[in-house]
Every structure is written in structure tokens, then in C-alpha cells.
Structure 1
Amino acid sequence: MLNRAVIKVIEKREFLTSTPEKSVRAVAAHMKEMHLGAVLVVDQPGGKLVGICTERDLAFKVLAEGLDANTTTVGSVMTADPQAIGPDKLFGHALHLMFEGGFRHLPVLDPSGRPIGVISSRDALGLELADFGHELEQRETLTEIL
């Protein structure tokens, strides 16, 4: 899976976008509804990525600071100009960028800078589970042989 293109990891997966002027309460409600940990913030009318806002941003920059979720905009707490990756890059490269950068979500952009998805650190968990399942199968086969 590490050698798969990023597009294969994110295809058929929903992601959330917002404009910077939306309230963090509205964005958080959509994140909860869609079970997502990040929203990609885009400009109008072009739809190009200008930032990312994660559940950690909401917790640390809004809740911990005592800001009003109804009046605080997502643009004021987002990470502006986040690192991103193209859809043709390898999933392993995306994981490396996230590890080196210390972040858990990586926007995937088309050549014009518009978001087409998000790679999450949770995607790597799928790798570990697949490897674990394969290892269990091998152990069961060895047990049967012995």
C-alpha cells in the first residue's frame, strides 16, 4: 500500500471544505456529522486551498483559549498555506511528509491547487491492520503444517 498512488487511497472518500468566514461552530458541526477530523479551507470563487482546520485546532485555539465558537471564524484559527501533496505521489511519501512535519492530515490537491481529498494518519492504520491480518494467516498456516 505504501507504493500506491495517493489518489488510490483517497478515491471515493468524502472530504469537507469551508470558506474562511464560516464560524467554527458550523464547521465543527459538519465535521462531527461527517465523522471527519479536518476541514480544508478554500477561497471563493476559485476553490483553491488557503488553509486547513483540524479538530486539534478547534480544541487548542478555540476551546482552550475560551473563544466564542459562534463568532470565531475558521479562517482565524486555521493553519494557513498547509503543506499538500499531488494525487500522483506515493502514499509512503505522504506518510513521510506527515511524520516529518508533525501533522496528521495532508491535503491532496489537483494541479490547479484545488483540493480533491485528504490523507489522514488513520490511513496508515489500515496498513498495520492489513499486515497484522497477513501475519495471522501465516501463523495459522504454519500451525496447520506443524
Structure 2
Amino acid sequence: MPQRPIRSVIAKQKVLTATAEITVTAAARLMKKKSVGAVMVVKDNGRLAGIFTERDALFRVLAEGRDPKTTRLSDVMTAQPQTITPEKPFGHALLMMYESGFRHVPVVEDGKPVGMVSARDVLGPELQEFESELQRRTRIGEILG
């Protein structure tokens, strides 16, 4: 699983982006609607400018006493975040997250976002494998009676 290319991890994703001018409240609503923990912030030319995460909302907005209704993403996003390309193995992204202490890595091609990998992505195949193992054990238990 860690060796599969990131392209396969993001294959079914729709790229979620916002401009740096929108408010934290607008970004949070967008993230809630799409059930994601981060949004990629793009420039007018579509190139990645930054990333805004739920942790940014907590630590850079709420904990600092800023008003999310008036605070713009440009003021609280992580500008020029570390990125990865779709051809890299998923394990490389996991290592980046582990070593740098973040949970989301934008996936870019030619500077433009094409997806995002997160710590949650590791749960998908692992959870399916776990469920399959539970079903197998249940069947064995039924057979052995």
C-alpha cells in the first residue's frame, strides 16, 4: 500500500480549492460541505498559493482571537506548503507528514493542484483489509462451530 502511486490515491478526488480572499468562515463551510480537513488556496492563474487546514482555523484564528467572519485565508494559510507529485509513492507522502508534523500534502502538477493526500487516506485500504479479515474469521468461526 505505501508503494502505490499517489495518483491512485487521489484518482476519485475532486480538487477543492479557494482563493486567498475568502474568509475563514466561508472556507470552513466549504470544508464542512465536502467533509474534508483542508482546502488548497490558489492564485488567479490556478497555481497553488497555500493550504488552509482545520488546525489553522483552530490555532491561527480561534486561539488568536481573530474573527473568522472577517479574517481572510491569505492572513492565516500556510503559504508555499510542501507538495508532492502524483507519480511519487504514497509512502513518501506519509513520511513527509510524519517528519514535518502535518496531516495534509497538496498534490501538484506544473504548480497546479490535482489533489490532496492526508493521514486519513491511509485508513481506506487498511480499514477494508481489517473488515475482510473480520469476515474471514467470522466464516471460519461458523465453519468450526
Any stretches of 5+ residues in structure 1 without a counterpart?
Answer: none
Count of paired positions: 144
* Residue 90 of structure 1: how far off its partner (Å): 0.8
2:122 equivalent in structure 1 = 124
* Residue 13 of structure 1: how far off its partner (Å): 1.2
Amino acid of the structure 1 residue aligned with 2:46: G
In 2, Cα distance between equivalents of 1:15 and 1:59: 23
In 2, Cα distance between equivalents of 1:126 and 1:12: 13
2:60 equivalent in structure 1 = 61
Any stretches of 5+ residues in structure 2 without a counterpart?
Answer: none
In 1, Cα distance between equivalents of 2:128 and 2:3: 14
In 1, Cα distance between equivalents of 2:67 and 2:140: 59
What pairs with 1:11-50 in structure 2 (closer than 5 Å)?
11-44=11-44, 46-50=45-49
2:88 equivalent in structure 1 = 89
The counterpart of 1:114, out of the listed 108, 112, 115, is 112
Secondary structure of 1:103's match?
coil
> Any idea what the Cα deviations from partners look like across 1:99-120, whole Å, max 9, x if unmatched?
111111110001x110000001
Runs of 4+ in 1 over 6 A off after TM superposition: none
Amino acid of the structure 1 residue aligned with 2:122: A
In 1, Cα distance between equivalents of 2:54 and 2:126: 24
Percent of residue pairs bearing the same amino acid type: 50
Q: CA 1:139 to 1:83, structure 2 compared with 1: closer, same or farther past 3 Å?
A: same
Amino acid of the structure 1 residue aligned with 2:134: L
> Any idea what the Cα deviations from partners look like across 1:55-107, whole Å, max 9, x if unmatched?
11011111111111122110110111111110011111111111111111110
TM-score by length of 1: 0.89
